[in-house]
A and B are shown apart, each in its own frame.
Chain A
Amino acid sequence: MSDMDEFLEMFFAECDELLEGVATGLRQMDSSEYEKETVHAVFRAVHSVKGGAAAFGLSDLVSFAHKFETVLDLVRSDALDPDPRLMAVLHRSSDCLADLVEAARKSIDPDHARREELLGELEKLIGVKDENENDDDVEFEPISIDLMSFDAPEVPESYRIFFEPNADLYRSGNDPVAIIRALDKLGETDITIDTARVPVLSEWDDSTPVLGWTVLLRTTASTAAIEDVFEFVEDCCKLEITALVAEQGDEGDGTAQTSSEDFPTVDVTAQQVQETTDDQAETVSTKAAFSPLAPTSANAGSEGRAVKSSETSSSATIRVSLDRVDKLMNMIGELVIKEAMLSQVIQTAGFAEDPEVKGGLESLRQLAGDIQESVMAIRAQPLKQVFQRMHRILREAAEATGKQVRLVTSGEQTEVDKTMIERLIDPLTHMIRNSVDHGLEDAITRKRNGKPQEGTVTLSAAHKSGRVQIEVSDNGCGINRARVRQIAEEKGLIAPGATLSPAEIDSLLFLPGFSSKSEVSALSGRGVGLDVVRREIMALGGRVMISSSEGKGTTFTITLPLTLAVLEGMLIQLNNQTMVLPITAVQETLRPEQSSLHGIGRSGRTLSNRDELIPIIDLGCIFGFREKPSASDEGVLIVVETDGHKRAAFQVDAIFDQRQVVIKSLEENYGRVPGVSAATILGDGKIALIIDPEEIVLSSHSDQGPEQMALTANG
């Protein structure tokens, strides 16, 4: 990757944050009681995007951001009133800006029509106020990606640079040629060498350098940029930089002479970056200086400072590639396994009771657990980034359907694993669109039903018993069950006249090929239905449920595991094989009394427990470890509940232990096994399979299951 690509990537990463800030700020401005500072913040963010874009020559982005920023400046100076109409334009502009950034990132052509349209609207807004009141130049201010601390005049200025290296410069491996070349990159140069002190050959002393150079430089770069070239050699050379006064005679030029001792302080971030990558910094500042939009900042000082300070506070974070974190996570998984192995060996060797061994082992275990948690915390990200995006999705959906909708979010700070964040975007987008399109009624119907005209979609997240729960609910009309049933029957998804509970009817929405809207709308109903949502969520180890009450609204509930790396499991035994059952599904374990067991027909069996009849599933049969279910009074029953509130009692031989296990993919080197979600490695180094109770319960409602399961297995 070239340096430039790297900087571009940094710029885009920063753009993401800035755009998020713009979107948040604009939302705050929607309510009438916002602080002035919010507008400033939005303005600065747009401005920073523009600055960076200018440095990379992304002209589409620059010109749009410029107009956007101009309007924001008018709002800021109270010349424009942020009424809802104006805010709508601003929101769409922020979306468009995000699109342009995205287009630039992927180097594709942006949606010019949309851009033009919005530019027109922005111009109209600017037209309201005389644009001349704003001096364009004043607004430019360089704060793109921390690398450019230039305050370069647009008119090239001339400098005379005298540079005479002393012995230290050569000794430290620096090369005057490289420095002079760097100067040459800044602008036009005229270089003269001073050979006056070169002695005759017989008097040559190679420890004393004798050469000096005078460079006449004509450049648009700032004095600071020139000084930067000498940053590493300033202590070991004689250096004089003199700004040559322009012919017209601009007397008040303060940068007459800067000796190498009193360098002006460069802001810390920029300096750090430059220290690490001298060459790179140079490329960028050069590039920036040549860019036609290279800004002057006459009075942007206050803004500049404010942004700088906010950037300094965020520079406490680093960007790390996910691969590295994953690798770390894997190694910690290993550590946990090794620790378990070690303690087992110690147990067998009979040292387990030795207090020192015991204590050491205990602290080792604790440490391993702590490290694991910390790494998981690194991977954990607040759902905020996903929720942020949904505002836009909702806005677009509302626009497309002509409905008035408000999105209320809560629990944005709930953290989930990074990989999940990315993979949640599509399903949530779909669900939000679905809620707006299918869930909410239009304004007239709402009014007739005595509801507020504006519909509400609520997106909330929370941690709930070791899982993350995300809810998408609307206050619309609810599911029309008669209609759903009718469609399902028409499409042959269910047998006509089948007895279905309301919840079961609701679940029909998740069947592939079900789309209740008769006409295909532009928004949802493009053939991808809720079945896709369910599949994607299930791929994340999560579940989707739906609940609805007629006339009041519909709620989709997604539950997700906290992490894709570790789970709390119950270790069970089946035919000498150890398997793991996720603890989240387990409701209770019991040794049944004969009186509570009832057979149904030839092989069906149920357990009567707490006034409820629960089907018994012999896991040994399910997994093909034995032909016939073992006698009911043998072994232990584990009552599990699925997310759809279906219960079943799993019959197993024994329960050993409960512990955290590291999830290892089985599909990577083998493939999917029915009824098994993944594998893990036990303390003795053996592999145990992790049972997927959901799949087992859903695919076998009684002990007739095995054939069914085997069918899926071999089909």
Chain B
Amino acid sequence: MLDTLSHNTIGKQDAIAFKLADQDFCISIGCVREIRGWAPTTVLPHAPEYVRGVINLRGSVVTVVDLSARLGFGTSEPTERHVVIIAMHEGRVVGLLADLVSDIVTISDDNIQPVPDIASDPAREFISGMITFEDGRILRKIDLERLLPTSPSMPS
């Protein structure tokens, strides 16, 4: 499990694994800029429930998305131990609030399985694949693009 940090080769990719409501998730390392501790946010009026607010990231205004709320686990009560993963997608920067970052893993494409058809779970929408490990652990791969809030009027 504790693979050495390898460069992306064909059929392999690195991902950051994190925990959320006792489930393991991961996100492609390519889009992660940094990981920060939780700090209080500025609340945005009329924002969807999963938008935690905005923080100051060295001078730019970055939206923080509460992954737990977004994936349907209910809003989290962030403490100092919570982390914000700063990710970038197509020029837009977003912070993802997670419980804790657990690992950096190398995933080979062979291990990625399609998401089973579970009826209408909100999380299903944002997970692009399941990664199985020999020790029985399972990582759910988050699709950042689907996760991003497009605008305040976006249906939650």
Contact = CB atoms under 8 A, between A and B. Distances in A.
Given A623-B46, A670-B149, A714-B46, 16 more contacts: A664-B61, A666-B61, A669-B94, A670-B63, A670-B151, A671-B151, A673-B152, A674-B45, A674-B152, A675-B45, A679-B61, A681-B56, A687-B42, A687-B55, A689-B45, A713-B152
A376 interface: no
A45 interface: no
Interface string B44-57: 11110001001110
24 contacts: A330-B59, A334-B58, A334-B59, A623-B46, A625-B43, A625-B45, A664-B61, A665-B61, A666-B61, A668-B92, A671-B149, A671-B151, A673-B46, A674-B46, A675-B45, A676-B44, A679-B54, A686-B42, A687-B42, A687-B54, A687-B61, A689-B42, A714-B46, A715-B153
A705 to B, nearest CB: 12
A710 interface: yes
A689 to B, nearest CB: 7
A589 interface: no
Nearest to B57: A669
A126 B141 CA distance: 78
A685 interface: yes
A577 interface: yes
B84 to A, nearest CB: 14
A688 B153 contact: no
Contacts of B54: 666, 669-670, 679, 687
B59 A623 contact: no
A235 to B, nearest CB: 51
Contacts, number: 87
A492 to B, nearest CB: 26
A709 interface: yes
A360 interface: no
A688 B152 CA distance: 18
B40 interface: yes
B46 A713 contact: yes
Q: Is the interface of A mostly helix, strand, loop or mixed?
A: mixed
A673 B47 contact: yes
A496 interface: no
Interface string A666-708: 1011111111100101000111110000000000000000000
Interface of B: 40-47, 51, 54-56, 58-63, 92-94, 149-153
B42 A623 contact: no
B46 A669 contact: no
Contacts of A187: none
Nearest to A667: B151
Nearest to A330: B59
Interface in A564-608: 577
A664 B153 contact: no
A713 B153 contact: yes
B150 A671 contact: yes
Among all A-B residue pairs, the 3 with the closest Cβ atoms:
A671-B151, A713-B46, A623-B45
Nearest to B43: A577
B41 to A, nearest CB: 8
A675 B46 CA distance: 10
Give the most central of A664, A669, A673: most B CB within 10 Å. Answer: A669
A666 B152 CA distance: 11
Nearest to A662: B59
Nearest to B42: A687
A337 to B, nearest CB: 7
A625 B45 CA distance: 7
Contact of A685 (B43, B44, B56, B62): B56
A192 to B, nearest CB: 59
A333 interface: yes
Give the most central of B41, B45, B56, B152: most A CB within 10 Å. Answer: B45
Contact of B59 (A337, A670, A673): A337
B59 A664 contact: yes
Nearest to B45: A623
A703 to B, nearest CB: 16
Contacts of B59: 330, 333-334, 337, 664, 681
A145 B59 CA distance: 41
A672 B152 contact: yes
A688 B43 CA distance: 9
Given A672-B151, A713-B153, A664 B60 contact: yes
A624 interface: yes
A687 B64 CA distance: 12
Contact of A709 (B46, B47, B150): B46
A688 B44 CA distance: 10
A714 B153 contact: yes
Contacts of B152: 670-674, 713-714
Nearest to B88: A669
A669 B63 contact: yes
B151 A669 contact: no
B42 A577 contact: yes
